[in-house]
Amino acid sequence: MHRLIKFVENPLLNKHLERQATSLEMGFLDPSSEDFEEAPQIIVAELEHSQAINRIIDWKRRWPECYVALSVSELDRERWIAAESAGADLVANRGALPRLLRDKMKLLQQGDSLTKQKLRLKAKAVVNSGDGLVGRLPDSPEDPIAVFRMGNQLCAVRDVCPHAGFSLADGEFDPVSGSITCPEHGSRFQVCTGERLRGPADYPLRIYPALSEQEEIWVEIEQEA
């Protein structure tokens, strides 16, 4: 028995999701019971839901292995990134999502895992003996990434301000709060948690695991297997 759950209000999306599941002789469980005894394997929801980002964070905290997929009806790139930063495994347009999910359902049916592949990327070092910017990955397969040192910790963030897309790497770093201030309009973020401390940006920053090995800085990203 597969554990697929959807929190979807759009009738057309519901219909297409049901159709894809039925074509694989699978089905969605009743979403009214969130207190599942076993962790769900796939959760589908809509990014337009006002609590979508908080719900993603909660689901991933409770069930880290669960594959969380979100549909979007309007292109809002920063909300899209915020959903991925919160842990969503797939964000796709409403029309494309059922077909993309079918591939995942098929993997489950075959007994395969939906866990993503981890990729380690080497950062270009930035000369800095103190806290602040120590590495950059301008050409990562994702968006550019900046790495900051704060005490003994390395913290990597998506180097794109959620307000208007400018680079944060050259902004002002505050070693006391571990925050970076966007050089364009002053949004501020904590670099180790990605938390938005001040607008005008509306969303937090995506963060990545980072580590130092043999004097090189490495950042880990996840990609579909």
- Positions touching ligand FES (CB under 6 A) are 161, 163-164, 166, 182, 184-187, 200-201
Q: Of 8 and 201, which has the nearer Cβ to ligand FES?
A: 201
Using the minimum distance from each CB to ligand FES, give the nearer residue, 67 or 173: 173
Helix intervals (H) in the chain: 11-23, 52-62, 77-86, 97-109
Looking at beta carbons only, is 99 or 185 nearer to ligand FES? 185
The minimum distance between CB 153 and ligand FES, in angstroms, equals 24
Count CB neighbours of 74 within 10 A: 9
CB of 217 to ligand FES, least distance (A): 24
- Considering beta carbons, is residue 69 or 182 the nearer one to ligand FES? 182
Residue 110's contacts (CB-CB under 8 Å, 6 or more residues apart) are none
Nearest approach, Cβ of 183 to ligand FES (angstroms)? 8
As a whole number of angstroms, the distance between CA 213 and CA 153 comes to 13
Greatest distance between any 2 Cα atoms in the chain: 59
Cis ω for the linkage preceding 11 (within 30 of 0): no
Question: What's the min distance (Å) between Cβ of 168 and ligand FES?
Answer: 7
